[in-house]
Structure 1
Amino acid sequence: MKNILLHLRIPFSFFLMPVYWFALSQTNHANTGISIGVFILLHLLIYPASNAYNSYYDKDEGSIGGLENPPPVSKELFYVAWALDILAIIIAYFLSGWILALALFIYSSISKAYSNDKIRLKKYPILSWITVGIFQGAFTYLTVIQALDNVSLRDLMQEKYLFPAVLSSFNLLGFYPMTQIYQHEEDAKRGDLTMSRLLGIRGTFLFTAGIFLLVTAGFFFFFQEKEIFDFSAFIVYLLVMSPVLIFFNVWFLKVLKNEQLADYKHTMQLNFLGSICLNVFFVLLFLSN
């Protein structure tokens, strides 16, 4: 049981939490009960199920996201992953309706296609990168918006929903290769040509920097007329995210001298710092509305 709990990697859900807070900050007086329910469904059921399913098929011996020394996996982990997904979908139906239930079903199905050895999207660098970016970003953002504001699927296609959804995806598209940067050896053993392996260590840093320049430009336009407690939302964004920028650049300079420093420890530090800063910013944005 302990090994199963470890492979659920529930704390790892914190890294995906900014998408939820961003969506919540853009809702119009969302129902508190549904807001809490959707939060639980995503972060305590759907994401852990995805982690467990991925761990079952990867059978990593080296460090993975949220687990420096992953324990052996068992068949029970496979069943737990399925049980959590099914439970989440059932609860979603009664909490918000068929749209949320369908959205979680689609998300969990894509997650399984990412890891399952018969399909294994993970071994295709660009396809897996785009898939993760879309479904952990825009798809999740729109799912939360729809459930919390009861938005029709047609109305969900409006620019006011799609633009921040796209920004959410680009955030993930930037972070995702960095989460793979220390796993090149493990991924090579399984024959998975991940985005980070395709780019190389230095290329991963440069690619991520380029994506985040685009994200920053996107947030500049999105936050032009928005304020957080009477301060420009974009300026607050820059200030809150500045520790991430500093850490990223200092780490990159170290890696240029020694690529062995592109390791699990620094990757998790960047992920944790980035998640803290984004969560803080979006919570502030939510509280200021």
Structure 2
Amino acid sequence: MFAKSNWEHLRIPFSYYLMPVYLFALAVVPEIDTGRAIWVWVILHLLLYPSSNGYNSYFDKDEKSIGGLKNPKKVTRGLYYLSQVFFLLALFASLFLGIVFFAMVLVYGLVSMAYSHPSIRLKKYPYISWLTAGFFQGAFTFGMCYEGITGSGSTQLLQQEVWVPALLSSVLLLGSYPLTQVYQHGEDLKRGDITLSIKLGVSGTFGFAAIWFLLGGVAFIQYFLNIPLPPAIWAFLFAMLPVVSYFSLWFLLVRKNPEEYVSHQMAMWMNKVSSTALNIFFIYLAFHF
């Protein structure tokens, strides 16, 4: 369980790419409880997400590059137990923030297991897996963060000021999710996982992502107009500039030479650029508006 390879498969640094949803929730809460906010960040990014990563790696048994690992080592049974220890730690820690937050952490973990476990394996169904990842890594996680930071109870999550930005989080995830699969077609087909990216094809994956990025941009602009917070629109557009630029460049390179540029390295740089831009934007939003 304590082998170095098992810890590598937890991919703790990969949690950085999942941080924008947390920071968006942090920017939206009316009053930040610093202690609770730090505790939520620790539970999600150092315990829950790594648990999910390790569990997924154990059942996928990838031999080629995956998100956060260019050369993944062969998994062992110890990785399964380590991922479960991290999940139990996340559950135990979440109890200190209230029963609603605990229940949401539990649901997220169970859905994550259903996504990977061979007896259910939502991952092999292209549209179900897309919707599951988009909802649970987006809207559900936003609500989980909001509840953890505020402790306001489940009824507050049904208020418009919470569920609207929660849905916006899902819109961003629904566009980017197929891009994370575009370089893994061979590995996924070998396991019998028909991902949405496989269904769409390489060019279709980029076109699909472009449509959702456009929808996401329009939705965010409308959201800031409705709050109302017009100055945030320019900050958002500025933050999206490097994301759109990299995405466009990557697509052009893929059209010229797909064998070289449909790669783990290019996909990880897409993650780095988009997550960094969004992290900076949501931090700015939290402290300036």
Q: Give the structure-2-normalised TM-score.
A: 0.97
Q: Secondary structure at the match of 2:154?
A: coil
* Matching of residues 1-289 of structure 1 within 5 Å: 1-94=3-96, 96-224=97-225, 225=227, 227=229, 232-260=231-259, 261-289=261-289
Deviation digits for residues 114-160 of structure 1, max 9, x if unmatched? 00011100000000000001000000101111121222312211111
Verify the 8 A CA contact 1:226 1:233 in the aligned structure 2.
Answer: no
Q: Percent identity?
A: 45
Unaligned runs of 5+ in 1: none
Deviation digits for residues 174-228 of structure 1, max 9, x if unmatched? 111000000000001000001111110000000000001111011001112555x
Q: Secondary structure at the match of 1:68?
A: coil
Q: Secondary structure at the match of 1:60?
A: coil
Distance 1:188 1:116 in 2: 17
Verify the 8 A CA contact 1:226 1:232 in the aligned structure 2.
Answer: no
C-alpha deviation, 1:254, in angstroms: 1.2
Moved more, 44-53 or 26-35: 26-35
Distance 2:199 2:19 in 1: 27
Distance 2:152 2:99 in 1: 13
Distance 2:280 2:173 in 1: 17
Q: CA RMSD in A?
A: 1.0
Q: Secondary structure at the match of 1:154?
A: helix
Distance 1:126 1:62 in 2: 24
Superposition misfits of 4+ residues, deviation over 2 angstroms = none
Deviation digits for residues 22-48 of structure 1, max 9, x if unmatched? 000001222111100000000000000
Distance 1:8 1:221 in 2: 37
Distance 1:196 1:40 in 2: 32
Distance 2:274 2:156 in 1: 31
Verify the 8 A CA contact 1:178 1:205 in the aligned structure 2.
Answer: yes
| Matched AA of 1:189 | K
| Matched AA of 1:43 | H
| Matched AA of 1:38 | V
Distance 1:170 1:156 in 2: 18
Distance 1:82 1:213 in 2: 38
Distance 1:147 1:53 in 2: 24
Deviation digits for residues 27-76 of structure 1, max 9, x if unmatched? 12221111000000000000000000000000000000010100010111
Count of matched residue positions in the alignment of Structure 1 and Structure 2: 285
Q: Secondary structure at the match of 2:57?
A: helix
Distance 1:155 1:8 in 2: 33
Verify the 8 A CA contact 1:89 1:104 in the aligned structure 2.
Answer: yes
